[in-house]
């Protein structure tokens, strides 16, 4: 590392960090988020429009998709990523104080919705390999089976749907 030659790096911190993360800890945090904020499968969950709400939304998505709906870890990973992207857009681009998260399941499909008070439409932009931002809707477009925006009298709902195998 340029400029850091000869400086001893702290030892053991990487192991301590890795040891602290575990699926059980994440499950515990996800269940706590469900308890604190509510279940997005039962009603829309309002979250403050702050960057840290993305972590809450990811945890809610994780516990619903993996534990409540019993879908695969890969499906859970994709949903969590796309929820993070939609929430990031709501926080960064709408000027809202609050946004809502809702998750629905019907035969063969899941649907995730993020509602905000802005009527500004999201725009799918072309993405280059070297882009460091602006990939959110590109990912939603590539990983979901369909997505869209429903304009409301006061705001909009941005959503995506994914096919799932019913048992």
Summarize pLDDT for 57-77 with one digit per residue, the tens: 999 999 999 999 999 999 999
Half-sphere exposure of 82 (CA within 13 A, CB side): 30
Q: What is the mean pLDDT of residues 119-143?
A: 75
Whole-model pTM: value is 0.79
Residue 31: per-residue pLDDT: 84
Question: Does residue 8 carry a pLDDT above 60?
Answer: no
Task: Write out the two tokens for 74.
Answer: 């890969």
Selected residue with higher pLDDT from 139 and 158: 158
Spatial CA neighbour of 30 closest among 59, 54, 4: 59
- pLDDT of 19 above 90: no
């Amino acid at each position: 590392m340029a400029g850091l030659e000869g400086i001893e790096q702290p030892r053991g911190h990487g192991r301590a960090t890795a040891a602290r993360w575990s699926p059980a800890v994440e499950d515990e945090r996800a269940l706590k988020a469900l308890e604190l904020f509510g279940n997005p499968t039962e009603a829309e969950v309002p979250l403050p429009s702050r960057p840290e709400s993305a972590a809450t939304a990811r945890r809610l998505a994780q516990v619903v998709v993996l534990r409540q709906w019993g879908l695969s870890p890969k499906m859970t990973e994709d949903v969590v990523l796309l929820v993070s992207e939609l929430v990031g857009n709501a926080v960064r681009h709408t000027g809202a104080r609050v946004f809502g998260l809702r998750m629905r399941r019907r035969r063969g499909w899941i649907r995730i919705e993020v509602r905000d008070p802005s009527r500004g439409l999201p725009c799918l932009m072309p993405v280059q390999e070297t882009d460091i931002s602006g990939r959110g809707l590109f990912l939603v477009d590539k990983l979901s089976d369909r997505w869209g925006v429903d304009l409301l009298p006061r705001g909009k709902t941005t959503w995506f749907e994914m096919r799932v195998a019913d048992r």
